Amino acid sequence: MSDVSSGSTEVRKTGTPSFLALAMSPGGRRCPRSARSARRRIRQARASGTPLPEGAAATADGAPTTDPAEAVMPLPLGGAKGSGMSLAFELITSVLVGAPIFSAFHSGDPQGRNHRQNALIVAIDPAAFGDPDAFVASVDTTLDTLKRLPPAAAADGVHYPGERSAATAAVRAGSAIAVAPKVWQQLTAAAEAGITVPGVL
């Protein structure tokens, strides 16, 4: 992953995508959080030709931009605090496991820019803190409380992480997936090798 540190124009190469999943009632809701969504937003905007929101991305020299064609890295959410959280994740998921990416990438050694992969998985058993069933019920109550908060004027409701993507996945599983015209052109061009292109609904 790449981003820009607060106060810097240098692209920071880090290994900090994060994901959080919580136990909930069977067949209930998911509550994930993924840092990769920022880079996906840039790719989707580039494919559809739509501008990015203010403060979402930066150019190669670290300047903020809304042009997806010029965007090469996401900006950290939350400004300086978001940049600090990204650094904290880098220290935990990269330095702690003995595979520092950030310092190696910026060391001046060409080998430091070779692609590498690392990961840190932390599993917490709710039973170590109390009744697991009570924890699951409390998670559901917390999300129910969140959903009952008054939405902003232009919002279609209050959503927790993963709710809208799960709803979209359910709709697409029963119908079809919307594909941007530019992406469809790329797919059909790649299929000229003899692959049958599916019909458009």
Segment 155-200, tens digit of pLDDT: 888 988 778 888 888 888 888 787 878 788 888 887 776 777 666 6
The domain in which residue 55 lies consists of 1-123
Q: Has residue 7 been placed in a domain? A: yes
What φ, ψ does residue 58 adopt, rounded to 5°?
Answer: -135, 160
Q: Has residue 142 been placed in a domain? A: no
d(CA 77, CA 16): 13
User: How confident is the model at residue 35, as a pLDDT?
Assistant: 46
Segment 73-113, tens digit of pLDDT: 887 776 777 778 878 888 888 888 888 888 887 788 888 77
Q: Has residue 5 been placed in a domain? A: yes
Q: Kindly tell me if the per-residue pLDDT of 146 is higher than 80.
A: yes
CATH (domain of 81): 3.30.1370.60
Provide the domain count of the chain. Answer: 1
